[in-house]
Amino acid sequence: MRIVRKDYVRNGPGSVKMVPVDSDDLWFAYNLIAPGDSVMAATVRKVLREAASGGRDAERIKLKLEITVEAVDYDKVGSVLRIRGKNILENEYVKMGAFHTLELELNRPFVLRKKVWDSLALDVLHQASDPGASADLAVILMQEGLAHIFLIGRSMTTTRSRIETSIPRKHGPAIAGYETALKKFFENVLQAFLKHVDFNVVRCAVIASPGFTKDQFHKHLLLEAERRQLRPIIENKSRIMLVHTSSGYKHSLREVLDAPNVMNMIKDTKAAQEVRALKDFFDMLSNDPARACYGPKHVEVAHDRMAVQTLLITDDLFRNADVEMRQKYVNLVNSVKDSGGTAHIFSSMHVSGEQLAQLTGIAAILRFPLPDLEDIEM
Amino acid sequence: MPRKVNYGLDYDDDYDDDNDYDDYDIDYDVEDNAFSVVTGNLHKPNQEATRSGIWRCSICTYDNDQSMTACDICGVLRNPLPSSGISNGNDLKTAPFKFDVPSPDDIVTNGLRSSKMGPKGTSSSYHEGGVEYTLPMDEIKPRSLAYSLDSASINDRGGYSNSYGTGKAASQGQYKPEKWMLHEAEDGLLSQLNLAIVGHVDSGKSTLSGRLLHLLGQISQKDMHKHEKEAKLQGKGSFAYAWALDESPEERERGITMTVAVAYFDTKRYRVVVLDSPGHKDFVPNMISGATQADAALLVIDASNGSFEAGMDGSKGQTKEHAQLIRSFGVDQLIVAVNKMDVVQYSKDRFDLIKQQLGTFLRSSGFRDSSVLWIPLSAMENQNLVTAPSDIRLLSWYKGPYLLDAIDSLQPPTRNVSKPLVMPICDVIKSPSMGQVSACGKLEAGALRSGVKVLVMPSGDVGTVRSLERDTRPCAIARAGDNVAVVLQGIDTSHVISGGVLCHPDFPITIAKHLELKVLVLDGASPILIGSQLEFHIHHAKEVARVEKMVSLFDPKTGKVMKKAPRCLLAKQSAVIEVVLQGPVCAEEFSSCKALGRVSLRALGRTLAVGIVTRVIEKEPIAFFKSKYFVFFSK
């Protein structure tokens, strides 16, 4: 995200003009823009005009509109951010108070005006403008008969492709069937790989699977690349890594991020940090269950007793909450930070964020055990 | 031949069946008195008014006009004279009547219905494959009662699809197996025993199985020579015997077993089906798939120094995990084969150490001491396998049975031959050239014969059994406990999947996504929280599951509820939880069908919990799948 102009007071009103550069930035914008703010951007509007002859003419006019935000919608599949709201800028084409839906596009600047720039929003802004540390990993997670291709970005993980076939087992005469089915499966995965993985964008590609499927596929990949002279693969041979996981299902993605050789590549990125924090939480839960808790009520109680060491929270909670709730969570995060603890805000588009969301979206590792949390209703 | 409606080119049989059921619905509404059928009043000409005005000849399937009494084309009489007595549709069809075509003839439908909806034992309608088959009519009384009960259940039927569903609850008790199913111990057939061979990786499972097969003559000398030569060529001379079971190039190259290999051999008492499982940690899902079929298990231990300890390691070794898994599958008879005794010079001390350490663990897992046998042996040197040991070192202190004797001393398990057919599908082999598909698996209940119609779940399609194969040899009848390959025809090959179940068309099993389980969390497992995503294994099916709710913790010994709505499940706790699966699976409550009620939950390469299905919370309607099937080009 490129910040063009900043003009705000901390915890006060202000405006920022910025330009989203990649789809990750749209995700940041989604986290920043909340109902009640106002957004100004160039957009296209269909306007009915009376021509001189009396006929009505529908014309698409490019104009700059400013609207107060009523609803924000992020389209994961198409990577589009839609903002719906009422017009507040004097305009010859559009009446004041008329509804309009803005679509934020890449490389087009927009101005966001907020009433309160709280610490969280500033954090997001800071992260968005940080040019370095983009995880950008392409992962092929597979097992026999099932393969997923994920693209792990800075703040989100998108599933690019999912391939599922049924491969017969190998018993005596049926072995031939197994080989052909497996070859066809690998071919499909290879096609998807070529289509979705662009080595100019991703840093490296990881092939992960239980058993030996990854080795088989890797061999097949290299052979086919040689045979068909697929330049992108041949040139980037060294950037393909193999990692062992326990299954080919989506939740095994965290094992990929945990693997040492992958960790080296992405250790300073958000995704890796999130995975580590969640792993710590699970470890604590198995070793000493009284020192870990989850659920808004429990975490609140723990916080009241100043027991929270590490707070794990998804950005989902901030986005969906009304102003009051959001304020409460912001305060929670700030006070945890002030008292010397750490707060991790998980992107709900990452695998670890999804996992945390399954556990109610908020969890904490405590400084000292609180056994009586068990008795409190969740 | 003109057909009434054309839905698809290949699915004639299925379609006709559906038509059959539709007819019953109409008839039932018109005729209220169930008992009138029983009293022998078969002829109901007025019912024909509800028909559409044509009837289909049972032989040439030509649609004849109502007024004709014999088929236009082939001349077969429409209503052959009924023989004495009771409304068994069977008697009416002395001309070979293929029940796979509908008979709009209402005498026949009446007769069919009473016999079909009554105790299944007397009905042979869909089991005929053109073979005449009559049964003694000695079950009038129970039938009438059963019939009224069944009528009640039939009433619920909306469309034909539901006819598969609701008939079950009432008629489960009325399923009477047919004579050919119960015919046992005939002409010297040995009873079958499914033996799963499990153990830590590299303990010598495949080698042991290969050795046994060779010694018992199942593998010819020529084949053995071939394996030996090839193995030496690849530098894996010691794996020569294992290659008898590991047939794929991948397995041979890496020297491991990846999927369960099935082989057969005979002992004095049993026909043993050997299920050689992989020991590698990554292939435990495959091992689960194989071990669900087991009646007894052979746990192979590597006696050499260090290997046993590695196997017993909680997180990295498979010995414990395998033992717990097979116990959870209901196997209570175990033979522990302590292999590679030659490496430790047949030392008694080593054997006793292993026996003591592993013994305590097995006891804590639930194996009774009396049902565990300990056999020291060496597969490589052929000691103590099929004959008493010849090595003096072993002879000096070991006086127990050799391996084959031990297998013979196992108790045969009880077989549910008298329950309706249930056969979980382990493997599917398609032969597109012949347009048929074969489903391999072990029959858990009931029996099969060629010509019988089976219902394939979860798709809900009905297919006919063309032939049965056991150990690549065709066989006539397969009963509960037999491990066979069923060649099916008349069914879409993509509907038969591994993880599905073959069942009786009138007794379908439930498909569900939302289940309630009673589980025991194994020790060493990471905690399970609400929302945890786990891999759910049930018979041969696997799915991703999410823990939806944790209902209660209870004490396994007393069964009392200790705590309601726990926060998380830790190791060694027993709890009742609800899971929601990503895709539907065929599952049954454990109390009604054991084979379809056992589950295991895994994550991160370890088995976290094993348990049973206590309740199916939300059933998926079969009609859902059927509707997909009827839409053109949906697949």
- Decide which of A46 and B537 is more confident: B537
pTM above 0.90, yes or no: no
> Which of A218-222, B61-65, B169-173, B436-440 has the highest mean predicted lDDT (pLDDT)?
A218-222
Q: Tell me the residue ranges of DSSP E strands in B18-118.
A: 54-56, 63-65
Confirm or reject contact between B388 and chain A (CB < 8 A). Answer: no
pLDDT over 80 at B549, yes or no = yes
Determine contact, residues B244/B223, Cβ cutoff 8 Å.
yes
Candidate from A171, A211, A289 with C-beta closest to B570? A289
Q: What are phi and psi of B309, to 5 degrees?
A: -65, -40
Q: Choosing among B473, B521, B537, B604, which should be mutated to test the A contact, i.e. which has the most A CBs within 10 A?
A: B604
> Which residue in B279, B497, B424, B635 sits closest to A168, CA to CA?
B497
pLDDT single digits (tens) A338-370? 888 888 888 888 878 888 888 888 899 988 888
- Decide which of B80 and B119 is more confident: B80
Confirm or reject contact between B475 and chain A (CB < 8 A). Answer: no
Mean pLDDT of B449-463: 84
Q: What pLDDT, on a 0 to 100 scale, did the predictor assign at position A207?
A: 92
Determine contact, residues B355/B319, Cβ cutoff 8 Å.
no
Determine contact, residues A297/A377, Cβ cutoff 8 Å.
yes
Element containing residue A83 per DSSP (H, E): strand A80-87
User: What helix, strand, coil percent values describe chain B, rounded to 5?
Assistant: 30, 25, 40
Whether residues A175 and B258 touch (CB distance < 8 A) is answered with no
pLDDT over 50 at B239, yes or no = yes
Question: For residue A361, what is the nearest residue in chain B, using CA coordinates?
Answer: B531
Q: What pLDDT, on a 0 to 100 scale, did the predictor assign at position B101?
A: 54
Determine contact, residues B517/B545, Cβ cutoff 8 Å.
no
Q: Choosing among A170, A179, A214, A366, which should be mutated to test the B contact, i.e. which has the most B CBs within 10 A?
A: A170
Chain centre distance of CA A43: 26
Spatial distance between the Cα atoms of A25 and B350, rounded to a whole number of angstroms: 65
3-state per-residue secondary structure call for B517-549: EEEEECCCCCCEECCCEEEEEECCEEEEEEEEE
Measured between beta carbons, which residues in chain B are less than 8 angstroms from residue A172? 247, 472
Q: Tell me the residue ranges of DSSP E strands in B100-238.
A: 191-199
Question: For residue B283, what is the nearest residue in chain A, using CA coordinates?
Answer: A211
Q: What pLDDT, on a 0 to 100 scale, did the predictor assign at position B160?
A: 36
Which has the minimum average pLDDT: A44-48, A309-313, B547-551?
Answer: A44-48
Whether residues B248 and A285 touch (CB distance < 8 A) is answered with no
Question: For residue A295, what is the nearest residue in chain B, using CA coordinates?
Answer: B567
Mean pLDDT of B186-198: 75
Residue B451, Ramachandran bin (φ over 0: left; ψ between -120 and 50: alpha; else beta):
left
> From the CA of B340, how many Å to the nearest CA of chain A?
26
Residue B373's SS3 state is strand
Q: Choosing among B201, B250, B469, B528, which should be mutated to test the A contact, i.e. which has the most A CBs within 10 A?
A: B250
Whether residues A169 and B259 touch (CB distance < 8 A) is answered with yes
Measured between beta carbons, which residues in chain B are less than 8 angstroms from residue A289? 527, 567-568, 570
Whether residues B429 and A289 touch (CB distance < 8 A) is answered with no
- 8-state DSSP, B247: -
Residue appearing with tokens 């190791």:
B571
Whether residues A285 and B428 touch (CB distance < 8 A) is answered with no
Whether residues A168 and B430 touch (CB distance < 8 A) is answered with yes
Spatial distance between the Cα atoms of B537 and B288, rounded to a whole number of angstroms: 8
Question: For residue B571, what is the nearest residue in chain A, using CA coordinates?
Answer: A286
Amino acid, single-letter form, for residue B520: L
Find residue A68's DSSP bridge partners: A38, A86
pLDDT single digits (tens) B327-349? 888 888 888 888 888 888 888 88
Determine contact, residues B243/B251, Cβ cutoff 8 Å.
no
- Decide which of B411 and B79 is more confident: B411
Burial of B302 (0-12, 13-18, 19+ CB in 10 A): buried
pLDDT over 70 at B630, yes or no = no
pLDDT over 80 at B632, yes or no = no
Determine contact, residues B462/B505, Cβ cutoff 8 Å.
yes
- 8-state DSSP, B260: -
Candidate from A170, A247, A250 with C-beta closest to B248? A170
pLDDT single digits (tens) B241-295? 888 777 777 788 888 888 888 888 888 888 888 888 888 888 888 888 888 888 8
pLDDT over 60 at B542, yes or no = yes
pLDDT over 70 at B392, yes or no = yes
Confirm or reject contact between B570 and chain A (CB < 8 A). Answer: yes
Determine contact, residues B228/B248, Cβ cutoff 8 Å.
no
Mean pLDDT of B128-156: 39
Cα–Cα separations (whole angstroms), residue B492 to B76, B163, B438, B459 = 32, 21, 12, 10
Confirm or reject contact between B259 and chain A (CB < 8 A). Answer: yes
> Which of A267-271, B40-44, B599-603 has the highest mean predicted lDDT (pLDDT)?
B599-603
Average predicted confidence (pLDDT) for chain B: 72
Q: What pLDDT, on a 0 to 100 scale, did the predictor assign at position B626?
A: 46
Which has the minimum average pLDDT: A144-153, B105-114, B501-510?
Answer: B105-114
Candidate from A174, A210, A294 with C-beta closest to B429? A174
> From the CA of B334, how many Å to the nearest CA of chain A?
26
Spatial distance between the Cα atoms of B385 and B376, rounded to a whole number of angstroms: 9
Chain centre distance of CA A178: 37
Whether residues B283 and A212 touch (CB distance < 8 A) is answered with no
Candidate from A249, A289, A294 with C-beta closest to B535? A249
DSSP B592-631: T-STTTEEEEEETTEEEEEEEEEEEEEEEPHHHHHHHHHS
pLDDT over 70 at B112, yes or no = no
Encoded tokens for A58: 């529908």
Confirm or reject contact between B535 and chain A (CB < 8 A). Answer: yes
Spatial distance between the Cα atoms of A59 and B227, rounded to a whole number of angstroms: 80
- Decide which of B623 and B590 is more confident: B590
Average predicted confidence (pLDDT) for chain A: 83
Encoded tokens for B144: 């009438």
Burial of B122 (0-12, 13-18, 19+ CB in 10 A): buried
Residue B531, Ramachandran bin (φ over 0: left; ψ between -120 and 50: alpha; else beta):
left
Residue B208's SS3 state is helix
Give the A-side interface with B, CB within 8 Å. Answer: 166, 168-172, 174-175, 177-178, 210-212, 216, 244, 246-247, 249-252, 255, 282, 285-286, 289, 293-294, 355, 357-360, 374, 378
pLDDT over 80 at A320, yes or no = no
pLDDT over 70 at B524, yes or no = yes
Candidate from B282, B427, B568 with C-beta closest to A285? B568
> From the CA of A268, how many Å to the nearest CA of chain B?
24
pLDDT band at B3 (very low <50, low <70, confident <90, very high): very low
Mean pLDDT of B443-450: 84
pLDDT single digits (tens) B83-101? 444 434 444 444 555 555 5
Which has the minimum average pLDDT: A139-143, B275-279, B469-473?
Answer: B469-473
Whether residues A374 and B567 touch (CB distance < 8 A) is answered with yes
Candidate from B258, B262, B533 with C-beta closest to A251? B533
Measured between beta carbons, which residues in chain A are less than 8 angstroms from residue B544? 249-251
Candidate from B429, B546, B568 with C-beta closest to A168? B429
Give the ipTM.
Answer: 0.75
pLDDT over 70 at A98, yes or no = yes
Residue appearing with tokens 């590609």:
A205
Confirm or reject contact between B580 and chain A (CB < 8 A). Answer: no
Whether residues B530 and A177 touch (CB distance < 8 A) is answered with no
Determine contact, residues B375/B334, Cβ cutoff 8 Å.
no
Whether residues B282 and A210 touch (CB distance < 8 A) is answered with yes
- Exposure on the CB side of residue B69, measured as CA atoms within 13 A: 4
Determine contact, residues B506/B470, Cβ cutoff 8 Å.
no
Whether residues A360 and B250 touch (CB distance < 8 A) is answered with no
Measured between beta carbons, which residues in chain B are less than 8 angstroms from residue A250? 544
Whether residues A175 and B259 touch (CB distance < 8 A) is answered with no
Question: For residue B547, what is the nearest residue in chain A, using CA coordinates?
Answer: A358
> Which of B253-262, B302-311, B384-393, B512-521 has the highest mean predicted lDDT (pLDDT)?
B512-521
Mean pLDDT of A240-261: 85
Q: What pLDDT, on a 0 to 100 scale, did the predictor assign at position B149?
A: 40
Spatial distance between the Cα atoms of A217 and A224, rounded to a whole number of angstroms: 10
Determine contact, residues A24/A11, Cβ cutoff 8 Å.
no
CA end-to-end distance (rounded Å), chain B:
28
Candidate from B427, B527, B602 with C-beta closest to A289? B527
Chain A to chain B Cβ contacts (< 8 Å): 94
Encoded tokens for A213: 């499927």
